[in-house]
């Protein structure tokens, strides 16, 4: 595939990765003591963009 590059997609993945890492730090720091609270913090770090997009679309309504 001559002339095709995936440079734009790589930039978006890097931004998403930084956002997830930042969310992990934030949720981990705010989690109460306990194993399951920290497991929940890791899961929240992965799915936070879905909640952000949902809230953004709700605000447009």
What residue ranges do the domains of the chain occupy?
Answer: 8-60
Confidence (pLDDT) at 28 = 93
Confidence (pLDDT) at 13 = 81
Tell me: pLDDT of 58 over 60.
Answer: yes
More confident residue, 47 or 4: 47
Q: What percent of the chain has pLDDT over 90?
A: 39
For the chain, give the secondary structure using H, E and C: CCCCCCHHHHHHHHHHHHHHHHHHHHHHHHCCCCHHHHHHHHHHHHHHHHHHHHHHHHHHC
> Which range has the top average pLDDT, 4-8, 13-17, 18-22, 33-37?
33-37
User: CA nearest 22: which of 40, 41, 7?
Assistant: 41
Tell me: pLDDT of 8 over 70.
Answer: no
């Amino acid at each position: 595939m001559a002339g095709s590059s995936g440079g734009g997609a790589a930039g978006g993945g890097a931004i998403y990765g930084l956002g997830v890492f930042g969310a992990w730090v934030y949720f981990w720091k705010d989690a109460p003591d306990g194993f399951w609270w920290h497991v929940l913090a890791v899961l929240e770090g992965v799915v936070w963009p879905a909640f952000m997009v949902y809230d953004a679309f709700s605000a447009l309504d």
